[in-house]
Amino acid sequence: MVLLVAVLACAAGAAQAGPPTKAARRPADKGTFRSCENGKCHRIPVLSGRNAAKTELRADPLDKPSGDIWIKAENLGEEVKVHIYKPDGSFDDAALAKLDDLFRDPKTGAVRAVRSELYEQLSRIYDKFGADGTRPVVLVSGFRYQERDSSRHYHASAMDIRVPGVSIYEMYRYAESLDAGGMGLGIYPTGGFIHVDFRAPGEPSYRWTDYSGHGGKKPTGRTQPARKPTS
């Protein structure tokens, strides 16, 4: 009788020692997904962000970009090649208008004047990664009329971009070097692009990583959708 009780107790303990069910998932796992590599697994936050320290910001003035831009909107199947400056160095309104049209909201067709400083940053990124003329910058998302009004996309001061054949981590590091203050930079490893914006006046520079899958396949093991940053 004593032996039977001991066996039953061991069996119960073995059952309890099995893998946790979904219902028993720890609260701390929320907002994360399971990442496995070389047989080792750990949980990664779907979304993590922080204010950029002042020591991380650029102290030296930025050089003026070439003004050349070759960009292709993947959601529209259209592309534009422009030079954003006139011979006197001022902005060429006709060139900016072509870019504004390419940055339009694909759902509504609404067009808004995009912040000209964002186009200058776009030209710097093109100068760095595409100026050999073999590849454009790919626009994943520009102006979004139906976005919440806290989004910089809604205010036409944000872009989600990638460059074919260039690591998004390399692009992200270069974009960081352009930030003298007031910029938002996000990296989307699942979607395969980076986000570049100018913050609202007075807001600090911000950095984030988002694995939620915008523009690509969502990672497995998710426990809940991520809250999007004020992008």
pTM of this prediction? Answer: 0.78
Q: What is the pLDDT of residues 198-224, one digit of tens each?
A: 999 999 999 999 998 665 444 444 444
10 part of a folded domain: no
Question: Rounded to an integer, what distance in angstroms lies between the CA atom of residue 190 and that of residue 222?
Answer: 13
Span 131-158, pLDDT tens digits: 888 999 999 999 999 888 899 999 999 9
3-state secondary structure of 173: helix
Q: Residue 85 falls within a domain, yes or no?
A: yes
CB 178 within 8 A of CB 121: yes
Among 215, 213, 73, which residue's Cα sits nearest to residue 137?
73
- CATH no. for residue 85? 3.30.1380
List the domain range (segments joined by +) for residue 110. Answer: 61-210
Domain count, the chain: 1
In a domain, 11, yes or no: no
